[in-house]
Amino acid sequence: MSVSKAAEAAVALEAALLRAVPANKKHRISEAEWVKSLKVFHHEAREIRQQFSLGFLGRARATYLLQQRLIAVGFPADTVRKVIFSMILSSFTGGR
């Protein structure tokens, strides 16, 4: 797994999350909106995992890079932790 492939996957995952999450920063996102947004994100994350043929180490590297990218764009650390954990459980576990 090349670093650039994992980095490309992390960029694609970040874009998928930003598309899935409602953009209105003026109000707090409700629990129902988060659940709906995460379902869309998890579906796209599975597709990205397959598109980039991410193996175990590639998934770990892409997940770490995604975590760093989300914190850098201003997501709260607690939110990032929850998003990453849910992505790992729903989209990044198991075999190909």
Q: Which pLDDT tens digit goes with each residue over 1-14?
A: 456 899 999 999 99
Please check the confidence at residue 16 and state whether its pLDDT lies above 50: yes
Is position 70 within any domain? Answer: yes
| C-alpha span between 42 and 17 (Å, rounded) | 9
Is position 41 within any domain? Answer: yes
pLDDT at 25: 57
| C-alpha span between 50 and 64 (Å, rounded) | 18
Segment 21-42, tens digit of pLDDT: 876 655 677 888 889 999 999 9
Is position 51 within any domain? Answer: yes
Segment 49-93, tens digit of pLDDT: 999 998 889 999 999 999 999 999 988 999 899 999 999 999 888
Provide the angle, in degrees to the nearest 10, between the axes of the packed helices 56-72 and 77-91. 150
Is position 61 within any domain? Answer: yes
Is position 96 within any domain? Answer: no
Is position 44 within any domain? Answer: yes
Domain hosting residue 82, numbered range: 3-22+29-91
Provide the angle, in degrees to the nearest 10, between the axes of the packed helices 31-51 and 3-20. 150
Is position 10 within any domain? Answer: yes
> Structural domain tally of the chain?
1
